[in-house]
Amino acid sequence: MKNNDYDLRSFAFRLKATMENMDRELRTSRLSEQLNKHYAAIAIPKGLHCLSLRLTDEYSSNALARKQLPPPELIPRLSDNSYFHFVVASDNILAASVVVSSTIRSSSKRDRIVFHVITDKKTYPAMHSWFALNPLYPSIVEVKGVHQFDWLTRENVPVLEAIETQRTIRSRYHGDHLARTNVGDSPRVFAAKLQAGSPTYTSVLNHIRIYLPELFPSLNKVVFLDDDVVVQHDLSSLWDIDLAGKVNGAVETCRGGDTWVMSKRFRNYFNFSHPLIANNFDPSECAWAYGMNIFDLGAWRKTTIKDKYHHWVKENLNSNFTLWRLGTLPPGLIAFRGHVHPIDPSWHLLGLGYQEKTDIPSVQKAAVIHYNGQSKPWLEIGFKHLQPFWTRHVNYSNEFIRNCHIMEPQL
Protein backbone atom coordinates (compact mmCIF):
# COMPACT_ATOMS: atom_id res chain seq x y z
CA MET A 1 0.00 0.00 0.00
CA LYS A 2 2.84 2.33 0.86
CA ASN A 3 4.49 1.60 -2.47
CA ASN A 4 1.25 2.49 -4.25
CA ASP A 5 1.04 5.80 -2.38
CA TYR A 6 4.64 6.52 -3.28
CA ASP A 7 4.00 5.70 -6.94
CA LEU A 8 0.95 7.98 -7.01
CA ARG A 9 2.84 10.87 -5.43
CA SER A 10 5.74 10.32 -7.80
CA PHE A 11 3.40 10.25 -10.77
CA ALA A 12 1.64 13.41 -9.60
CA PHE A 13 4.98 15.16 -9.12
CA ARG A 14 6.17 14.17 -12.61
CA LEU A 15 2.85 15.21 -14.15
CA LYS A 16 3.01 18.60 -12.46
CA ALA A 17 6.59 19.12 -13.62
CA THR A 18 5.62 18.13 -17.16
CA MET A 19 2.66 20.52 -17.19
CA GLU A 20 4.77 23.38 -15.84
CA ASN A 21 7.41 22.71 -18.48
CA MET A 22 4.77 22.67 -21.23
CA ASP A 23 3.31 25.91 -19.90
CA ARG A 24 6.76 27.56 -19.94
CA GLU A 25 7.39 26.35 -23.48
CA LEU A 26 3.99 27.61 -24.63
CA ARG A 27 4.54 31.00 -22.99
CA THR A 28 8.03 31.26 -24.50
CA SER A 29 6.62 30.35 -27.91
CA ARG A 30 3.92 33.00 -27.65
CA LEU A 31 6.38 35.65 -26.48
CA SER A 32 8.67 34.73 -29.37
CA GLU A 33 5.74 35.05 -31.75
CA GLN A 34 4.94 38.52 -30.40
CA LEU A 35 8.59 39.54 -30.68
CA ASN A 36 8.82 38.40 -34.30
CA LYS A 37 5.55 40.17 -35.09
CA HIS A 38 6.85 43.33 -33.44
CA TYR A 39 9.97 43.39 -35.59
CA ALA A 40 7.85 42.77 -38.68
CA ALA A 41 5.65 45.71 -37.65
CA ILE A 42 8.46 48.26 -37.12
CA ALA A 43 10.50 47.25 -40.17
CA ILE A 44 10.15 49.51 -43.21
CA PRO A 45 9.08 47.37 -46.19
CA LYS A 46 11.51 47.53 -49.12
CA GLY A 47 8.80 48.93 -51.37
CA LEU A 48 8.08 51.87 -49.09
CA HIS A 49 11.79 52.59 -48.67
CA CYS A 50 12.20 52.49 -52.45
CA LEU A 51 9.22 54.82 -52.91
CA SER A 52 10.73 57.40 -50.60
CA LEU A 53 14.14 57.23 -52.31
CA ARG A 54 12.74 57.51 -55.84
CA LEU A 55 10.47 60.41 -54.96
CA THR A 56 13.34 62.20 -53.23
CA ASP A 57 15.42 61.81 -56.37
CA GLU A 58 12.47 63.09 -58.41
CA TYR A 59 12.29 66.18 -56.20
CA SER A 60 15.90 67.05 -57.01
CA SER A 61 15.60 66.44 -60.75
CA ASN A 62 12.03 67.33 -61.74
CA ALA A 63 10.71 70.88 -61.46
CA LEU A 64 7.12 69.60 -61.43
CA ALA A 65 7.87 67.63 -58.26
CA ARG A 66 9.06 70.87 -56.61
CA LYS A 67 6.14 73.05 -57.64
CA GLN A 68 4.58 75.11 -54.89
CA LEU A 69 1.81 73.42 -52.90
CA PRO A 70 -0.72 74.88 -53.14
CA PRO A 71 -0.17 77.33 -56.00
CA PRO A 72 0.21 80.98 -54.92
CA GLU A 73 -3.33 81.99 -55.83
CA LEU A 74 -4.77 79.37 -53.46
CA ILE A 75 -2.58 80.08 -50.43
CA PRO A 76 -5.25 82.27 -48.75
CA ARG A 77 -7.43 79.17 -48.41
CA LEU A 78 -4.88 77.62 -46.03
CA SER A 79 -6.14 79.96 -43.32
CA ASP A 80 -9.75 80.34 -44.49
CA ASN A 81 -12.11 78.97 -41.84
CA SER A 82 -14.94 78.53 -44.33
CA TYR A 83 -13.07 75.41 -45.56
CA PHE A 84 -12.79 71.99 -43.93
CA HIS A 85 -9.24 71.70 -42.65
CA PHE A 86 -7.68 68.28 -42.09
CA VAL A 87 -4.23 67.53 -40.62
CA VAL A 88 -2.18 64.35 -40.96
CA ALA A 89 1.37 63.92 -39.66
CA SER A 90 3.39 61.07 -41.16
CA ASP A 91 6.70 59.95 -42.62
CA ASN A 92 4.91 57.14 -44.52
CA ILE A 93 4.15 58.45 -48.01
CA LEU A 94 1.85 55.64 -49.05
CA ALA A 95 -0.12 55.73 -45.81
CA ALA A 96 -0.50 59.51 -45.95
CA SER A 97 -1.67 59.30 -49.55
CA VAL A 98 -4.41 56.84 -48.54
CA VAL A 99 -5.61 59.10 -45.72
CA VAL A 100 -5.79 62.12 -48.02
CA SER A 101 -7.28 60.38 -51.07
CA SER A 102 -9.85 58.41 -49.06
CA THR A 103 -10.99 61.58 -47.27
CA ILE A 104 -11.40 63.48 -50.51
CA ARG A 105 -13.00 60.59 -52.35
CA SER A 106 -15.56 60.16 -49.56
CA SER A 107 -16.49 63.83 -49.41
CA SER A 108 -19.48 65.45 -51.06
CA LYS A 109 -17.70 68.82 -50.79
CA ARG A 110 -14.31 68.14 -52.30
CA ASP A 111 -13.84 71.74 -53.34
CA ARG A 112 -14.04 72.76 -49.66
CA ILE A 113 -11.29 70.45 -48.38
CA VAL A 114 -7.85 71.68 -47.34
CA PHE A 115 -5.30 69.07 -46.23
CA HIS A 116 -2.25 70.01 -44.18
CA VAL A 117 0.29 67.18 -44.44
CA ILE A 118 3.14 67.40 -41.93
CA THR A 119 6.24 65.24 -42.22
CA ASP A 120 9.83 65.15 -40.99
CA LYS A 121 12.78 66.84 -42.66
CA LYS A 122 14.12 63.65 -44.22
CA THR A 123 10.82 62.68 -45.81
CA TYR A 124 9.76 66.16 -46.88
CA PRO A 125 11.16 66.09 -50.47
CA ALA A 126 9.56 62.72 -51.20
CA MET A 127 6.22 63.64 -49.59
CA HIS A 128 6.14 66.91 -51.49
CA SER A 129 6.95 65.12 -54.75
CA TRP A 130 4.10 62.66 -54.28
CA PHE A 131 1.39 65.26 -53.81
CA ALA A 132 2.87 67.59 -56.43
CA LEU A 133 2.85 64.82 -59.05
CA ASN A 134 -0.50 63.40 -57.93
CA PRO A 135 -2.79 66.42 -57.47
CA LEU A 136 -6.22 65.89 -55.96
CA TYR A 137 -8.19 68.76 -57.45
CA PRO A 138 -10.41 70.48 -56.53
CA SER A 139 -9.15 69.85 -52.99
CA ILE A 140 -6.05 71.61 -51.70
CA VAL A 141 -3.03 69.84 -50.23
CA GLU A 142 -0.22 71.57 -48.36
CA VAL A 143 2.95 69.67 -47.42
CA LYS A 144 5.24 71.00 -44.72
CA GLY A 145 8.22 69.57 -42.88
CA VAL A 146 8.58 70.09 -39.15
CA HIS A 147 11.73 72.07 -39.92
CA GLN A 148 9.58 74.65 -41.74
CA PHE A 149 7.62 75.56 -38.62
CA ASP A 150 9.69 78.28 -36.95
CA TRP A 151 7.73 77.78 -33.74
CA LEU A 152 8.93 74.19 -33.30
CA THR A 153 12.10 74.83 -31.31
CA ARG A 154 13.49 73.11 -28.24
CA GLU A 155 12.55 76.16 -26.17
CA ASN A 156 8.89 75.92 -27.18
CA VAL A 157 8.72 72.14 -27.34
CA PRO A 158 10.22 70.68 -24.15
CA VAL A 159 8.78 67.30 -25.11
CA LEU A 160 11.74 66.97 -27.48
CA GLU A 161 13.97 66.23 -24.48
CA ALA A 162 11.72 63.35 -23.47
CA ILE A 163 11.69 62.05 -27.04
CA GLU A 164 15.46 61.91 -27.19
CA THR A 165 15.65 60.25 -23.77
CA GLN A 166 13.05 57.70 -24.85
CA ARG A 167 15.14 56.81 -27.87
CA THR A 168 18.12 56.02 -25.69
CA ILE A 169 16.14 53.61 -23.50
CA ARG A 170 14.14 51.89 -26.24
CA SER A 171 16.41 48.86 -25.91
CA ARG A 172 14.68 48.14 -22.60
CA TYR A 173 11.59 47.26 -24.57
CA HIS A 174 13.21 45.28 -27.36
CA GLY A 175 15.00 42.08 -28.09
CA ASP A 176 16.12 39.24 -25.86
CA HIS A 177 16.63 41.52 -22.88
CA LEU A 178 12.91 42.28 -22.82
CA ALA A 179 12.02 38.64 -23.28
CA ARG A 180 14.27 37.66 -20.37
CA THR A 181 13.12 40.34 -17.96
CA ASN A 182 9.41 39.99 -18.66
CA VAL A 183 8.87 36.24 -18.65
CA GLY A 184 6.04 36.77 -16.18
CA ASP A 185 4.11 38.94 -18.62
CA SER A 186 1.22 37.55 -20.59
CA PRO A 187 1.76 37.63 -24.38
CA ARG A 188 -0.79 40.46 -24.58
CA VAL A 189 1.04 42.62 -22.00
CA PHE A 190 4.34 41.79 -23.67
CA ALA A 191 2.94 42.86 -27.05
CA ALA A 192 1.69 46.15 -25.57
CA LYS A 193 5.13 46.92 -24.11
CA LEU A 194 6.79 46.15 -27.41
CA GLN A 195 4.47 48.42 -29.33
CA ALA A 196 4.85 51.21 -26.78
CA GLY A 197 8.61 51.13 -27.30
CA SER A 198 8.49 51.25 -31.08
CA PRO A 199 10.12 54.11 -33.03
CA THR A 200 6.68 55.57 -33.83
CA TYR A 201 6.25 56.67 -30.24
CA THR A 202 9.61 58.41 -30.13
CA SER A 203 8.93 60.58 -33.18
CA VAL A 204 8.05 64.24 -32.92
CA LEU A 205 5.35 63.56 -35.51
CA ASN A 206 3.50 61.51 -32.93
CA HIS A 207 3.48 64.46 -30.50
CA ILE A 208 2.73 67.14 -33.10
CA ARG A 209 -1.02 67.23 -32.44
CA ILE A 210 -0.50 68.83 -29.02
CA TYR A 211 0.83 71.94 -30.83
CA LEU A 212 -1.98 72.40 -33.36
CA PRO A 213 -3.16 75.78 -31.99
CA GLU A 214 0.34 77.23 -32.41
CA LEU A 215 1.05 75.55 -35.76
CA PHE A 216 -2.20 76.84 -37.27
CA PRO A 217 -2.83 80.14 -35.47
CA SER A 218 -5.49 81.33 -37.94
CA LEU A 219 -7.67 78.21 -37.85
CA ASN A 220 -10.65 77.65 -35.57
CA LYS A 221 -11.33 73.94 -36.12
CA VAL A 222 -9.39 71.03 -37.61
CA VAL A 223 -9.84 67.30 -37.90
CA PHE A 224 -6.65 65.44 -37.06
CA LEU A 225 -6.24 62.01 -38.66
CA ASP A 226 -3.61 59.37 -37.89
CA ASP A 227 -1.84 57.90 -40.90
CA ASP A 228 -3.23 54.40 -40.32
CA VAL A 229 -6.85 55.35 -40.95
CA VAL A 230 -9.13 55.13 -43.96
CA VAL A 231 -12.02 57.55 -44.39
CA GLN A 232 -15.14 55.91 -45.81
CA HIS A 233 -17.88 58.53 -45.40
CA ASP A 234 -18.19 62.29 -45.70
CA LEU A 235 -16.71 63.96 -42.61
CA SER A 236 -18.12 67.43 -43.27
CA SER A 237 -20.75 66.98 -40.55
CA LEU A 238 -18.02 66.87 -37.90
CA TRP A 239 -17.86 70.65 -38.16
CA ASP A 240 -21.57 70.79 -37.28
CA ILE A 241 -21.16 68.93 -33.98
CA ASP A 242 -21.73 71.17 -30.99
CA LEU A 243 -18.77 70.42 -28.74
CA ALA A 244 -20.46 72.35 -25.91
CA GLY A 245 -17.36 74.42 -25.27
CA LYS A 246 -15.08 71.38 -25.19
CA VAL A 247 -11.84 71.15 -27.16
CA ASN A 248 -11.64 67.56 -28.34
CA GLY A 249 -14.42 65.61 -30.05
CA ALA A 250 -13.46 61.95 -29.65
CA VAL A 251 -14.94 58.45 -29.47
CA GLU A 252 -14.84 57.01 -25.97
CA THR A 253 -13.17 53.61 -25.65
CA CYS A 254 -14.68 52.31 -22.42
CA ARG A 255 -18.08 51.22 -23.72
CA GLY A 256 -17.27 47.92 -25.44
CA GLY A 257 -16.79 44.34 -24.37
CA ASP A 258 -13.52 43.46 -26.11
CA THR A 259 -10.33 43.56 -24.09
CA TRP A 260 -8.07 45.03 -26.79
CA VAL A 261 -9.70 48.28 -27.85
CA MET A 262 -13.10 49.36 -26.59
CA SER A 263 -12.89 48.56 -22.89
CA LYS A 264 -10.07 50.90 -21.94
CA ARG A 265 -10.02 52.97 -18.79
CA PHE A 266 -7.22 54.87 -17.10
CA ARG A 267 -6.13 51.68 -15.32
CA ASN A 268 -5.15 50.25 -18.72
CA TYR A 269 -2.69 53.05 -19.43
CA PHE A 270 -1.27 54.23 -16.12
CA ASN A 271 0.78 52.71 -13.32
CA PHE A 272 -1.55 53.12 -10.34
CA SER A 273 1.03 51.59 -8.02
CA HIS A 274 2.91 54.88 -8.37
CA PRO A 275 1.67 57.42 -5.79
CA LEU A 276 1.82 60.30 -8.25
CA ILE A 277 -0.72 58.52 -10.43
CA ALA A 278 -2.78 57.02 -7.60
CA ASN A 279 -3.15 60.38 -5.85
CA ASN A 280 -4.23 62.31 -8.94
CA PHE A 281 -6.35 60.04 -11.12
CA ASP A 282 -9.24 57.61 -11.02
CA PRO A 283 -8.43 54.17 -12.48
CA SER A 284 -12.05 53.74 -13.66
CA GLU A 285 -12.09 56.98 -15.65
CA CYS A 286 -13.09 56.43 -19.27
CA ALA A 287 -10.43 56.61 -21.98
CA TRP A 288 -10.98 57.93 -25.49
CA ALA A 289 -9.30 57.52 -28.86
CA TYR A 290 -6.67 59.40 -30.79
CA GLY A 291 -6.76 58.82 -34.53
CA MET A 292 -9.78 60.84 -35.62
CA ASN A 293 -10.46 63.92 -33.53
CA ILE A 294 -12.28 67.17 -34.21
CA PHE A 295 -10.39 69.90 -32.36
CA ASP A 296 -11.83 73.32 -31.55
CA LEU A 297 -8.61 75.34 -31.66
CA GLY A 298 -10.36 78.51 -30.51
CA ALA A 299 -11.52 76.84 -27.29
CA TRP A 300 -8.13 75.11 -26.96
CA ARG A 301 -6.24 78.41 -26.92
CA LYS A 302 -8.13 79.39 -23.76
CA THR A 303 -6.85 76.35 -21.84
CA THR A 304 -3.59 75.07 -20.32
CA ILE A 305 -3.74 71.75 -22.19
CA LYS A 306 -0.27 72.07 -23.70
CA ASP A 307 1.28 73.04 -20.37
CA LYS A 308 -0.33 70.06 -18.63
CA TYR A 309 0.97 67.79 -21.38
CA HIS A 310 4.49 69.13 -20.94
CA HIS A 311 4.25 68.87 -17.15
CA TRP A 312 3.26 65.21 -17.14
CA VAL A 313 5.70 64.20 -19.87
CA LYS A 314 8.41 65.77 -17.71
CA GLU A 315 7.08 63.97 -14.60
CA ASN A 316 7.26 60.67 -16.47
CA LEU A 317 10.78 61.49 -17.59
CA ASN A 318 11.81 62.33 -14.00
CA SER A 319 10.29 59.07 -12.74
CA ASN A 320 12.35 57.09 -15.24
CA PHE A 321 9.25 56.44 -17.38
CA THR A 322 7.40 54.57 -14.65
CA LEU A 323 4.10 56.53 -14.73
CA TRP A 324 3.04 54.94 -18.00
CA ARG A 325 4.48 52.94 -20.85
CA LEU A 326 6.05 54.91 -23.65
CA GLY A 327 3.43 56.53 -25.85
CA THR A 328 1.49 59.75 -26.45
CA LEU A 329 -2.07 58.75 -25.55
CA PRO A 330 -1.43 58.61 -21.75
CA PRO A 331 -0.24 62.24 -21.45
CA GLY A 332 -3.01 63.16 -23.87
CA LEU A 333 -5.60 61.53 -21.61
CA ILE A 334 -4.30 63.67 -18.76
CA ALA A 335 -3.93 66.93 -20.69
CA PHE A 336 -7.42 66.81 -22.20
CA ARG A 337 -9.21 65.78 -18.98
CA GLY A 338 -12.39 67.85 -18.75
CA HIS A 339 -12.01 69.02 -22.35
CA VAL A 340 -13.39 65.98 -24.24
CA HIS A 341 -16.81 65.82 -25.84
CA PRO A 342 -17.84 62.23 -26.68
CA ILE A 343 -18.96 61.72 -30.27
CA ASP A 344 -20.92 58.83 -31.73
CA PRO A 345 -18.82 55.62 -32.09
CA SER A 346 -19.91 55.30 -35.72
CA TRP A 347 -17.48 58.08 -36.56
CA HIS A 348 -14.40 56.06 -35.62
CA LEU A 349 -13.97 52.27 -35.55
CA LEU A 350 -10.72 51.14 -33.95
CA GLY A 351 -8.75 47.94 -33.66
CA LEU A 352 -8.26 46.77 -37.26
CA GLY A 353 -4.57 46.23 -36.53
CA TYR A 354 -5.31 44.19 -33.41
CA GLN A 355 -8.37 42.09 -33.98
CA GLU A 356 -8.52 39.62 -36.83
CA LYS A 357 -12.18 38.88 -36.07
CA THR A 358 -13.34 42.46 -36.60
CA ASP A 359 -16.98 42.50 -37.67
CA ILE A 360 -17.06 43.32 -41.41
CA PRO A 361 -20.54 44.98 -41.42
CA SER A 362 -19.31 47.30 -38.65
CA VAL A 363 -16.22 48.12 -40.71
CA GLN A 364 -18.37 48.95 -43.73
CA LYS A 365 -20.62 51.29 -41.73
CA ALA A 366 -17.91 53.28 -39.92
CA ALA A 367 -17.03 56.74 -41.17
CA VAL A 368 -13.36 56.21 -40.29
CA ILE A 369 -11.67 52.86 -39.77
CA HIS A 370 -8.44 52.74 -37.82
CA TYR A 371 -5.72 50.10 -38.21
CA ASN A 372 -4.25 50.84 -34.79
CA GLY A 373 -2.13 47.93 -33.66
CA GLN A 374 0.77 46.06 -35.22
CA SER A 375 -0.97 44.58 -38.25
CA LYS A 376 -0.91 47.60 -40.54
CA PRO A 377 -2.56 47.05 -43.93
CA TRP A 378 0.65 47.86 -45.83
CA LEU A 379 2.56 45.11 -44.03
CA GLU A 380 2.77 41.40 -44.72
CA ILE A 381 1.28 40.78 -41.28
CA GLY A 382 -1.84 42.80 -42.11
CA PHE A 383 -5.09 40.87 -41.79
CA LYS A 384 -5.93 39.80 -45.34
CA HIS A 385 -9.69 40.24 -45.14
CA LEU A 386 -9.27 43.77 -43.72
CA GLN A 387 -6.64 44.97 -46.20
CA PRO A 388 -9.02 45.68 -49.13
CA PHE A 389 -10.61 48.57 -47.24
CA TRP A 390 -7.16 50.21 -47.40
CA THR A 391 -5.75 48.91 -50.70
CA ARG A 392 -8.74 50.20 -52.71
CA HIS A 393 -7.27 53.67 -52.21
CA VAL A 394 -3.82 52.75 -53.56
CA ASN A 395 -3.15 53.33 -57.25
CA TYR A 396 -1.05 50.27 -58.02
CA SER A 397 -0.63 51.42 -61.63
CA ASN A 398 1.25 54.56 -60.51
CA GLU A 399 4.74 54.41 -62.04
CA PHE A 400 6.56 54.96 -58.73
CA ILE A 401 4.50 52.33 -56.93
CA ARG A 402 4.88 49.89 -59.81
CA ASN A 403 8.63 50.47 -60.18
CA CYS A 404 9.10 49.89 -56.45
CA HIS A 405 7.27 46.56 -56.76
CA ILE A 406 4.57 47.52 -54.28
CA MET A 407 2.01 44.88 -55.15
CA GLU A 408 -1.62 44.59 -54.20
CA PRO A 409 -1.93 41.82 -51.57
CA GLN A 410 -3.34 38.55 -52.86
CA LEU A 411 -6.33 37.41 -50.83
Q: Which CATH number is 310's domain given?
A: 3.90.550.10
Question: Which structural domain range is residue 283 located in?
Answer: 46-403
**Percent of the chain residues topping a pLDDT of 70:** 78
Q: How confident is the model at residue 102 (pLDDT cuts 50, 70, 90)?
A: very high
In a domain, 22, yes or no: no
Q: How many structural domains does the chain have?
A: 1
pLDDT tens-digit map of 218-254: 999 999 999 999 999 999 999 999 999 999 999 999 9
In a domain, 156, yes or no: yes
Q: In a 3-state reduction of DSSP, which class is residue 125?
A: helix
Please check the confidence at residue 40 and state whether its pLDDT lies above 50: no
In a domain, 28, yes or no: no
- φ, ψ dihedrals at 135, nearest 5°: -65, 150
In terms of phi and psi (left: phi > 0; alpha: psi -120 to 50; beta: otherwise), the region of 221 is beta
Please check the confidence at residue 204 and state whether its pLDDT lies above 80: yes
In a domain, 15, yes or no: no
**SS3 of 211-279:** HHHHHCCCCCEEEEECCCEEECCCCHHHHHCCCCCCCEEECECCCCCCCCCCCCEHHHCECCCCHHHHC
**Percent of the chain residues topping a pLDDT of 90:** 66
- What's the pTM? 0.84
In a domain, 161, yes or no: yes
Please report the pLDDT score of residue 39 as a whole number.
43
In a domain, 408, yes or no: no
* C-beta separation of 339 from 305 below 8 A: yes
Q: What is the mean pLDDT of residues 275-304?
A: 97
Q: How confident is the model at residue 176 (pLDDT cuts 50, 70, 90)?
A: very low
In a domain, 58, yes or no: yes
Q: How confident is the model at residue 378 (pLDDT cuts 50, 70, 90)?
A: very high
More confident residue, 157 or 352: 352
Please report the pLDDT score of residue 38 as a whole number.
46
Highest mean pLDDT among 24-38, 176-190, 259-273: 259-273
Please check the confidence at residue 329 and state whether its pLDDT lies above 70: yes
